[in-house]
Each structure stands twice: as structure tokens, then as C-alpha cells.
Amino acid sequence: MTEAPPTEIPDFWPCTHGPRLPRIALMGEFSAGKSTLVNLMVGANPLPVQVVATQLPPVWMAYGSQPSVIVDLAGNEVPCRLDELNGMSLDDVAFIKFYCEEEILKRCELIDMPGISDPNMASIIWERMMPFADGVVWCSPATQAWRQSEAAVWEGVDAKIQANSILLLTRADMLLTARDKARVITRVKSEADAAFRDILMMSLTQARDAMDNEELWHESGADEFVLAFLSLVEGLASSLEDARVERSDTVLETPRAASIDGECATGHVSADAIVPRRPKLRLSVKVERPASDASTAQSLAFMPKFS
């Protein structure tokens, strides 16, 4: 990433008190399959199809029935109407907050980032959202998997976020044989295995078209991805709760300025504080998966959609 983290809490940073859900950013280069993945996970298009993908700022998806809003850099909110979006410079928009009542959003919140390779969009538009994320699903087309431009951007991401991230190789259906798929997976793991929690391959179009076809859903690689994703979310949720309890105990003992990931604060904070608190890693980068609980195991029984 090209710019250093901000040294004070942004005006658009929402106040958070008490427990919160893990936040997962969806990232990758333009046309890597993020929109299809969002549709699989949420079952809805966050914005009208008339809006060209390159026109979109980050879209933050959360559970709820309230109207969606556009949040500017000063923290002001306006209704998310198509005409408002088209008339607003992306330089002034922090993100769009999109609400819908889908089951996956009861487990986590998703932040759909703009494509990192878009020459018409400054990288700061998505970079300033990175401190919100606890983990990332990075989409990379299997036919051109893990390009140097992707690796260069990922190198600038905090190692603690990397350890809670999944590299998803999309367009697996474009690789004609199992041998081709194995070669790509082997190569990418040799280059990026230390920088991700999991590296998986999936055909998003096959998963989308599976409908009631459990065999096709399995062949697409979707079930393996869902398992990995929900396991990641469970581990993050547990770590966030542990950190919240620890933070609450510390505040009771010694009142202090709140961090961005805790209660709202005013004034300056250190550059280190801009990154949300993460659990301590058992290894330098890679982390172990927690065992899935019964509710997750039940939810993984053939899911043509995540909800």
C-alpha cells in the first residue's frame, strides 16, 4: 500500500461499544469474481446494476432492515440513492453501508472493496478502509493466479490480517483438467502459502448454478470454501470477544483513551492504534483453525447459498 496509516481517528469511523461481529474484506483485482462471490454469500446485489463496478466505493454489508446510506469522509450519512451516488465524487465518500437480512451477516460483516488495479480509482479509497478489516478473502482468477501486482499489494497488508485471510482462486472451471488445477494450486502455494491462512480453488459460476445439485456444489469447491470461511469467522469472533473482555478489564483498572476498535475517542492516537486489535498468533504468520462447533457443522450441510 502506498500511504501510511492515519495518525488520528477518521471522522467517518463509527462508534463501537460492546461486542461486534468480525469484519471480512473482499478484495482482488477488477473482474476477479468478487461480485459473484458477494451474490453467493449474501444472495443480493448491494447496489443497482446500473452502477458500473468501477464507480463504487467500498460497500460495507451488515445485518439489518434499515435503509442503506452513503457515508462521507466527515461521517455524514445520506440515503443511498442512485442519483446521490452518481453525483458524488469518490474522493468524498468513505463507504456505502448496505443492510440486508441474510443469515451470513448474523455471523460477520462484509466489506466489498473496489478492484485494486483500477487506474481510475486512487488506492487510498480502499486503503483507508483496511483498518476496519479483521480478515480478507482475496479473489484471484485461477487462469492468471497470484500476479505480481497482487503480491505487491498484499505485501503491504498487516501480517496479522494476512494470518486471518483466505486466497480464493476463482474461475476454476476455466482449467480443463484436474492436473491443470493441481499445478496452479501447487505453484500458488509455493509463492503465497505463508501469507494466507488458506489457499483454495473454486468455480463461482458452478456454485452459482448448482441450485439443488449437491454434486455440482461440491465439485465447484464451494463446500470447502464455506467450511474454511465459517471456521475463520468463528475464530475471529472468539478472539474479538476475548480482546473485548480484556479491554474492559483494563479500562476499569486504568481509564485511558479508547482505541479505534474500542469505544470512540477524540484527539490523536498513535499510528499503531489505527490497526484493530488482533489475537496473538500461535505462529509467526500461519494460525491453526479452531474446531467447528455443532451449529457450523449443521449449517455446512449443502448450502447453495451461504444463508
The model's pTM is 0.79
CA end-to-end span of the chain? 33
Q: Find where cell 466489498 sits.
A: 112
pLDDT at 267 over 80: no
122-131, 268-277, 289-298: range with lowest mean pLDDT: 268-277
Across 95-113, average pLDDT: 93
258 pLDDT tier (thresholds 50, 70, 90): very low
Percent of the chain whose predicted confidence (pLDDT) is above 70: 69
Mean pLDDT of the chain: 78
Q: What is the pLDDT of residues 224-250, one digit of tens each?
A: 999 999 999 999 999 998 888 877 666
Cβ atoms of residues 174 and 205 within 8 Å: no
Task: Specify the pLDDT at position 246.
Answer: 77
Output the pLDDT for position 275: 37
Q: Name the CATH topology of 23-203+210-236.
A: Rossmann fold (3.40.50)
Give me the pLDDT at residue 9, please. Answer: 59
pLDDT at 82: 61
Q: Which amino acid is at 153?
A: V
- Under 8 Å between Cβ of 114 and 58: yes
Q: What is the pLDDT of residues 176-231, one digit of tens each?
A: 899 999 999 999 999 999 999 999 999 999 998 987 889 999 999 999 999 999 99
> Crossing angle, helix 148-155 and helix 178-192, to 10 degrees?
40
The confidence score (pLDDT) of residue 53 equals 53
| Nearest CA-CA partner of 105 in 43, 28, 16 | 43
pLDDT at 16: 61
How far is residue 277's CA from residue 225's CA, in Å, rounded to a whole number?
26
C-alpha neighbours within 13 Å on the C-beta side of residue 107: 20
For the chain, helix, strand, coil in percent to 5 are 40, 15, 45
What confidence tens digit (pLDDT) does each residue in 17-41 have? Answer: 678 999 999 999 988 889 889 988 9
Percent of the chain having pLDDT more than 90? Answer: 45
Q: Summarize pLDDT for 41-68 with one digit per residue, the tens.
A: 987 666 554 555 556 889 999 999 999 8
Instruction: Outline where DSSP puts E strands in the chain.
Output: 23-28, 59-63, 69-72, 77-79, 93-100, 109-112, 135-141, 165-170, 198-201
| Phi, psi angles (nearest 5°) of residue 108 | -160, 170
The C-alpha torsion from 36 through 38 and 40 to 44, rounded to 10°, is -100
Give me the pLDDT at residue 180, please.
95
* pLDDT per position as a tens digit, 157-171: 999 999 999 999 999
